[in-house]
Amino acid sequence: MFKGWFGKQPPAATNGAYRHGNQHLIEVRNIVKTFHSAAGTFTALKGVDLQIGPGELVAIIGKSGSGKSTLMNMITGIDRPTSGEVLIGDTAVHTLDESRMAVWRGRTIGIVFQFFQLLPALSLVENVMLPMELCGMYPARQRRTRATELLEQVGMAQHANKLPTAISGGQQQRVAIARALAPSPKVLLCDEPTGALDSKTGIRVIEALLSINAQLGTTTVIITHNASIQDVAHRVMFFADGQISKMQTNESRRAAATLAW
């Protein structure tokens, strides 16, 4: 399905280099997340352990309700675990207060959502510039140049001055990838990035993510129910009932080719 992508090993983990003793860029340690409501108590994550090294492209696959999106919320700090630890680089994410969390997330995590969430009143290049402005990253005069370069990487530079309504859903998702990369995040986290797209368009979006991972070495986590990603990810973690039920390593697979749109 993903022709033109050839085998190459993912980068080795950074051993012993982080402040809290974590040996991987991302470490989730014995995470439990329990929700309480009038209907009762529900445990969405049941002691999850997860390690992801720098530069890896990892897919987390599971059905709706399996807990994979709750896990994403733990990694991004959108929600907090009931117990356990979330370590990303030198940061103990689960210990941050709201103000520090917002700053950390804006500079460290790039998020690609299922439904694009581009601002309709801004041009595509302005949408990509916005995270840099919000995070105070890059001098103002450099932001448009950087945004244009990111749009070029996802094959959308020729549409830079259009509004989101003037392009297709698949094109909007590629712009959303460029926007997520604007602050130079350590981690690119994609929550069902092809869920709102037809299968052919979805393949193009996955190819864009593979290209970014190969060219920039950005640690990429794709949360999806689409099992086709398992053919190209470095590792695949299958999620069921709040736990990792199976793990698959694709040592012969690595996104390392140049894709021309």
Model confidence over 1-16: pLDDT tens digits? 444 443 444 444 445 5
pLDDT confidence tier of residue 260, bands split at 50, 70 and 90? very low
Angle at 26 between CA 22 and CA 31, to 5 degrees: 85
Q: Give the Cβ contact number of residue 13 at 10 Å.
A: 19
pLDDT of residue 251: 59
> Of 261, 244, 251, 250, whose CA–CA distance to 71 is shortest?
244
pLDDT of residue 249: 83
How far is it, in rounded angstroms, from Cα 233 to Cα 230? 5
* Mean pLDDT computed over 72-94: 94
Least confident of 30-39, 63-72, 190-199: 190-199
Q: Are 211 and 205 in contact (CB under 8 A)?
A: no
Least confident of 132-141, 182-191, 246-255: 246-255
Q: What is the pLDDT of residues 170-197, one digit of tens each?
A: 899 899 999 999 988 999 999 888 887 7
pLDDT of residue 261: 29
Looking at domain 26-249, which CATH architecture does it have?
3-Layer(aba) Sandwich (3.40)
How far is it, in rounded angstroms, from Cα 171 to Cα 168? 5
pLDDT confidence tier of residue 211, bands split at 50, 70 and 90? confident
Q: Are 205 and 29 in contact (CB under 8 A)?
A: no
12-21, 160-169, 187-196: range with highest mean pLDDT: 160-169
SS (H, E, C) the chain: CCCCCCCCCCCCCCCCCCCCCCCCCEEEEEEEEEEEECCEEEEEEEEEEEEECCCCEEEEEECCCCCHHHHHHHHHCCCCCCEEEEEECCEEHHHCCHHHHHHHHHHHEEEECCCCCCCCCCCHHHHHHHHHHHHCCCCHHHHHHHHHHHHHHCCCHHHCCCCHHHCCHHHHHHHHHHHHHCCCCCEEEEECCCCCCCHHHHHHHHHHHHHHHHHHCCEEEEEECCHHHHHCCCEEEEEECCEEEEEEECCCCCCCCCCCC
Mean pLDDT, the chain, as a whole number? 85
How far is it, in rounded angstroms, from Cα 151 to Cα 162? 12
pTM reported for the whole predicted model: 0.83
- CA distances to 68, 179, 212 from 47, rounded to whole Å, are 13, 33, 32
